[in-house]
Amino acid sequence: MADALSLDEVVTFTSDLIRIDTTNRGGGDCRERPAAEYAAARLAEAGLDPVLLERTEGRTNVVARVEGSAPSADALLVHGHLDVVPAEAADWSVHPFSGEVQDGVVWGRGAVDMKNMDAMILAVVRAWARAGVRPRRDIVIAFTADEEASAEDGSGFLADRHPELFEGCTEGVSESGAFTFHDDQGRQLYPVAAGERGTAWLKLTARGRAGHGSKVNGENAVTRLAAAVTRIGEHRWPLRLTPVVRAALTELAALNGVETDLSDVDALLDKLGSAARLVEATVRNSANPTMLDAGYKINVIPGQAVAHVDGRYLPGHEDEFRATLDRLTGPDVDWEFEHREVALQAPLDSPTYARMRAAVEEFAPEGHVVPYCMSGGTDAKQFSRLGITGYGFAPLKLPPDLDYQALFHGVDERVPVEALHFGVRVLDRFLRTA
């Protein structure tokens, strides 16, 4: 059971982990080991036997197992990443790596993405150890490196090289779910993630004829690339509704007293008000140009130009995504995956989803739990290689003036102390009964 000490510890752990700078700049520029050692020490103090694992020096992962009371039950994976995205201190009200607690709020990079959840996991298992509590299922805890880049040093490495540590795990929970979303009708929604769009980070390469900038050139690589990028950026992807998104639309429509007319989804979204934000990014595939690289001198036409595109595809629609990119890039531009990961779906009629819903409703009876699909992705993609079905469940009770989704990778990332307390109580309730 969550106790008073666990409520204090979750704040301390969140603050301490934020102070450990685990900025992941990509390309291997990160060192999670100090945070991993901190987490492992807290687990060891609770009587667990954590193991530290690295594919690359300094890129450390932690895995531990809590034995359940029902040996025949499938195990549950609970995972959180230790790395964070960069933060520019000059842009912040409070230094992003201070972990400062001001007026009941913990500030810093990772406060919601996702050192808060890491701290909740630590606080819960330590409370169990003090009370002599055992969960029903084995709980496998994994703190990972490299989620904010390719995951090759983190969950990908663990899934590929150390699958034995996850023996028996059939389901997993991690970030981006069970947070308070305040709609414009004054309702409190708690979206629990049961799907993720696939990741398709693309490199586009246009080739042409190099030459002098003053000469006519019908094979200009920059022009070819610019045309392809424009086509991609302006493309309107068709509606594609997955089972999870259909369920989300149906439940949100019912809450708003609106007929669920899935023949005109755009009109339905308009009727959902601010709640449409939970689903509008996941009714289609997407591809957004993000980077351009061409040329080296103003009077030289380069022979090659490169762009990068952040693509995302819905479960069951990767083939359509590929075919569309072939058409939009055209004959003069090649494209390839720089990083690709699968799209995910999880069942909404599972006992685990029902127990997540029940845990939230026990501590937020005024709230409405709804399913949703993440527009981005998590380490659940890599763990799915082991047959583990992933859900997003990192509970937080947030005030109306705190936009949870805007804080991800944003400036002034922060989390209320009361939100952490709620998270510990809900996570404890769910994990003990899962």
Look at strands 51-54 and 60-66 and give their pairing: antiparallel
107 and 235 in a single domain? The answer is no
Judge whether 398 lies within some domain: yes
129 and 228 in a single domain? The answer is no
What CA–CA distances, in Å, run from 172 to 126, 219, 434? 20, 51, 11
15 and 152 in a single domain? The answer is yes
Judge whether 394 lies within some domain: yes
Which residues form the domain of 227?
Answer: 198-240+284-341
Q: What is the mean pLDDT of residues 138-167?
A: 97
pLDDT, tens digit (0-9, with 9 covering 90-100), for 248-272: 999 999 999 999 989 999 999 999 9
Is residue 147 annotated as part of the catalytic site, yes or no?
Answer: yes
Residue keyed to tokens 């200009």: 220
Judge whether 106 lies within some domain: yes
CA distance 214 to 206: 20
Lowest-confidence range among 165-169, 275-279, 406-410? 406-410
54 and 121 in a single domain? The answer is yes
pLDDT, tens digit (0-9, with 9 covering 90-100), for 395-414: 999 999 999 988 989 999 99
172 and 219 in a single domain? The answer is no
Which tokens in the block code for residue 9?
């510890």
Judge whether 149 lies within some domain: yes
Of the candidates 378, 409, 368, 12, the one whose C-alpha atom is nearest the C-alpha of residue 180 is: 368
73 and 210 in a single domain? The answer is no
pLDDT, tens digit (0-9, with 9 covering 90-100), for 21-61: 999 999 999 999 999 999 999 999 999 999 999 999 999 99
Is residue 83 annotated as part of the catalytic site, yes or no?
Answer: yes
CA distance 327 to 304: 20
pLDDT, tens digit (0-9, with 9 covering 90-100), for 73-93: 999 999 999 999 999 999 999
Residue keyed to tokens 């995205």: 85
Indicate the number of domains in the chain. Answer: 2
Judge whether 319 lies within some domain: yes
14 and 130 in a single domain? The answer is yes
Domain final position from 295, 325, 341: 341
pLDDT, tens digit (0-9, with 9 covering 90-100), for 366-398: 999 999 999 989 999 999 999 999 999 999 999
The neighbour count for residue 136, using CB atoms within 10 Å, is 15
**Helices and strands: H and E segment counts in the chain:** 12, 19
Look up the CATH number of the domain holding residue 420: 3.40.630.10
CA distance 87 to 81: 17
25 and 107 in a single domain? The answer is yes
Which tokens in the block code for residue 417?
């102390």
Judge whether 213 lies within some domain: yes
Residue keyed to tokens 């694992």: 53
* Cis peptide upstream of residue 356 (ω within 30 degrees of 0): no
pLDDT, tens digit (0-9, with 9 covering 90-100), for 311-353: 999 999 999 999 999 999 999 999 999 999 999 999 999 999 9
**Mean pLDDT of all residues belonging to the chain:** 97
Longest dimension (CA), the chain: 80
150 and 205 in a single domain? The answer is no
Contacts of 31 (CB under 8 A, 6+ apart): 22, 58, 59
333 and 223 in a single domain? The answer is yes
> Of the listed 9, 32, 83, 379, which one is catalytic?
83
Judge whether 147 lies within some domain: yes
CA distance 228 to 204: 9
Look up the CATH number of the domain holding residue 288: 3.30.70.360
Judge whether 205 lies within some domain: yes
> Of the listed 118, 147, 171, 341, which one is catalytic?
147
**3 state DSSP class of 293:** strand
Q: What is the pLDDT of residue 255?
A: 95
Q: Quick one: what percent of the chain has pLDDT higher than 90?
A: 97
Interhelix angle 4-19/33-45, rounded to 10 degrees, is 160
CA distance 10 to 201: 35
Task: State yes or no: pLDDT of 1 exceeds 80.
Answer: no
353, 192 contact by CB (below 8 A): yes
Q: What is the pLDDT of residue 405?
A: 86
CA distance 273 to 93: 31
Q: What is the pLDDT of residue 20?
A: 98
26 and 93 in a single domain? The answer is yes
φ, ψ dihedrals at 341, nearest 5°: -140, 155
The b/e string for 122-132 (b: 16+ C-beta within 10 A; e otherwise) is bbbbbbbbeee
Q: What is the mean pLDDT of residues 263-285?
A: 96
300 and 398 in a single domain? The answer is no
Q: For 49, which DSSP code?
A: -
CA distance 48 to 2: 18
Which tokens in the block code for residue 27?
């390309």
